[in-house]
Structure 1
Amino acid sequence: MRALLKRDLALAFRAGGGFGLGLAFFLIVTLLVPFSIGPEPGLLSAIAPGVLWLGALLACLLSLDRLLALDYEDGTLDLLATAPLPLEAALSVKALAHWLTTGLPLVLAAPLFGLLLNLAPSGYVWLVASLALGTPALSVIGTFGAALTVGIKRGGLLMSLLILPLYVPTLIFGAEAARRGAEGLAATTPLAMLAGITCACVALMPFASAAVLRMGLR
């Protein structure tokens, strides 16, 4: 598992599809919002939690189409399916590699991008906490979508249509926690719901991903 994680991390950085691509997209979304609605500080502060969460979600989605596609093309997935390591564990490692190269950099960069949207000072801790709890769920759900569309030509668009509805609960509770924190309200309830969603996804989604991938490889 450790060797597979190192391999996926090396491929992600070498291909430029993880760290740099997700951060660049997140920055572009953050910069374009003030141009589209105007530079009024109060309005930017009000919408900052939702915009930052939506930008992080779309940035995670951006690199999912290559999560399993390259391994499918070079035959690595066939080897993983027949390896002693359970396929569920292999897909969990791939989801972890995706989070480390895409989700974690977004979590660390979110406070800086919050400055561009005039996020309230009280909201930074809650924004980082909600993203740290929610982005692992995005990676795990994304792995399920990648497994579902592997081998399909131009499957990126289909994958986006399939998994975006699954992202909605994470987006709702993550943005709500950040919004409540920015307004000085109690945010423990949406954070608890977000943590529950992430735990459920981490526990169940690898089995669903492995099941659909085995059907796709037959």
Structure 2
Amino acid sequence: MRKLKVTTFLSLDGVMQGPGGPDEDRDGGFEHGGWAAPHIGERLVAAMADLTGRAGALLLGRRTYEEFAATWPLAEDGDPIGAKLNGMPKYVASRTLDSVSWRNSTLLTGDVPEAVRRLKEGDGGEIQVHGSGGLVQTLIAHDLVDEYHLVVFPVLIGSGKRLFAEGTVPAGLRLVASTVHATGAVVGTYARDGGVEYGAMGPETGNW
């Protein structure tokens, strides 16, 4: 079974919308695009290159696919992230696209959750989802995410699309790895770990 990993840039209050630039995603009148850019350092870029290098395939929603397809083919020779993204298999979930032209891309047809389940049952390395906020909500709602790779930046946005929105399936998570960067970004990888456990704390319980 292939692992499906969601990689997301998040503000401290959980917003994932438009981290990379002013016009990346203005849905809902969002005016804070580019909030992550000042906190991207060389060490974080290297870590993202290492993460992307471990992918066997990329799974993208329509908006992120169009952004990536318009920019990554322009990457300079020797760019490890660009070379990997351009060369690896890419699967695109969209209700509006009729075709995809970025090299090694395939448009998923029919029921998206079922199509993703079939991908996970196939051969190959881990399937990575980058950005793709709408698609991620579908994957979360259908309990298809095995790991979350979250890059949390020291900013508060206050509004915008959030990673864990309504419809999130309650689940336990286990911290697999964590790193703190000099720019203030905190990176954590969390794996699914059963259900949510409940308890009580306080001086009367002895758990304080």
Establish whether TM, by shorter chain, passes 0.5.
Answer: no
TM-score of the pair, normalised by structure 1: 0.22
Higher strand share: 2
Higher helix share: 1
TM-score of the pair, normalised by structure 2: 0.23
